[in-house]
A and B are shown apart, each in its own frame.
Chain A
Amino acid sequence: MSDMALYKRSAESASAALRRLADEDLMQLVAENDASAFAVLYERHTNVAFSLAFRMCGKRAIAEEVVQEAFLSLWRSGSRYDRTRGSVRTWVLGIVHNRAVDALRRGIVHDRGRVSDEGIEERLEAPERTDQEVGRRDEAREIRAALEGLPVEQSHVIELAYYGGFTHSEIATMLDTPIGTIKGRMRLGLQKLRSQLGQAEVTR
């Protein structure tokens, strides 16, 4: 019997069965208004979501607001999740990113220019030593290293855009550089990142 079937048939093992379910199956239950399934998803993804929000906004209160909005949006629009378009984690982080960009552009965050991780220490409520967590940290380190390995003019525009929430024209003004150059640096940087992160080179 599948974990999903077990969960639906057995109240005693409901919690354990839920935790064995894949994110995509949990989303199916969330679409049926299952708060317990939502709680498992929240536990799985909240720290990575908060990390992104904090990286972008730089303030805990705003990051909390962004993450709260994002997860409530996930709860209320779970039925719109389409597993063929990516993982739940990517979907959650996409919502967090959009909300954080909204907050940045509304001017709630006043030091938008802060686009570096410098000064942000890892702040853990309860450091985990699980294989999964070690894997996540390795993944984060690999991505940071790839970004830092880019020519600085490329990594800078990517960071300003993605983490700073700036539009390409704002970046062009800020750096006193033509918009076309900014877009070109973004494209080259992403293509190199793709290559370094083990994905095939973009060809056009």
Chain B
Amino acid sequence: MTPVDSHECERRALEAAPYVLGALTEHELESYREHLSGCVECSAEVAALQPVADSLALGVARVDAPVSLQARVMAVVNGEAELLRAAGHEADRPPRARPRWRARLAPALAASTALAAGLLIGALVINTGATTHTRTQTIEAVVVAPGYHATAALRKAGSHVELVVTGMPAPPPGRIYEVWLEHGTQAPAPTDVLFSVTSSGAGSVGVPSDLSGVSKVLVTDEPLGGSLKPTRTPVIVASV
């Protein structure tokens, strides 16, 4: 800790309160943190006031979170946990340090104001069209596309299965979307289905399976040419 002179400390004595309340601008915050690293007195004041500011979070009227929020959050968490288990240490778990997959998505998401928000999570829905001889099933998928009103669904007609997406961001530069098939607890198996989307975010590709024995259809973004093991967390998860 580099000592600071007492004048500087006196000048900044009043900044501890706005600091713990989150009322400094980004520029001021950076400068004050630097000051704190060398000032014992101001650090002590912050340490004394921080618990008071923290307690304000509890002084609010209780409003329960909707149950549907839990389903949305857990769908993402369970999807990422499964892929991490399957891919082992090669998995790029978002966040030990900086989530690389999010960093890669960032350019495409620059217009988005919500970072990890806007996770569009669709519950498993199966619509059966009974008006034709060939039954058509639609399986809505979970889409992780912060800030985008993206949808994805599997359309199954007989043994033909198609993945249809709308509103999807383009894969990050130098990457392409790859389709994976997961059978039970086995690691996701790669397919030769690689795709991108149109400028409006639309796309449809055939899935090389009639889904027999398939528990999940996943999509990750991978280097051009695809991968043999997923290197990113999925952006689409369809539970079959």
Contacts and interface: CB of A to CB of B under 8 A. Distances in A.
Interface stretch (B71-79, B183-191, B195-203): B71-79
Contacts of A121: 61
Interface in B31-72: 41, 44-45, 48-49, 51-67, 69-70, 72
Contacts of A94: 54, 57
A140 B77 contact: no
B52 A52 contact: no
Contact of B77 (A38, A43, A90, A202): A38
A106 interface: yes
B81 interface: yes
A151 interface: no
Contacts of A189: 17
Interface in A97-152: 97-98, 101, 106, 108, 117, 120-126, 136-137, 139-140, 142-144, 146-147
A123 B193 CA distance: 47
A177 to B, nearest CB: 14
Q: What class of interface size applies to chain B in its complex with A?
A: 35 or more
Nearest to B49: A190
Q: Is the interface of A mostly helix, strand, loop or mixed?
A: helix
B66 A93 contact: no
B116 interface: yes
A116 to B, nearest CB: 11
Of the listed residues B56, B76, B99, B116, the one surrounded by the most CB atoms of chain A closer than 10 A to its CB is B56
Given A49-B65, A68-B117, A187-B17, A97 B57 contact: yes
A58 to B, nearest CB: 11
Interface string A46-63: 111111101100001001
Interface of A: 33-35, 38-39, 42-43, 46-52, 54-55, 60, 63-69, 71-73, 75-77, 79, 86, 90, 93-94, 96-98, 101, 106, 108, 117, 120-126, 136-137, 139-140, 142-144, 146-147, 158, 161-163, 165-169, 171, 180, 182-184, 186-187, 189-191, 193-194, 197, 199-200, 202, 204
Interface of B: 13-18, 20-25, 28, 41, 44-45, 48-49, 51-67, 69-70, 72-74, 76-78, 80-81, 84-85, 93-96, 99, 113-119
24 contacts: A35-B77, A42-B70, A43-B70, A46-B70, A64-B66, A65-B117, A68-B119, A69-B114, A94-B54, A97-B22, A120-B61, A124-B64, A140-B62, A143-B56, A143-B58, A162-B53, A167-B28, A180-B14, A186-B17, A197-B52, A197-B55, A199-B48, A200-B48, A204-B41
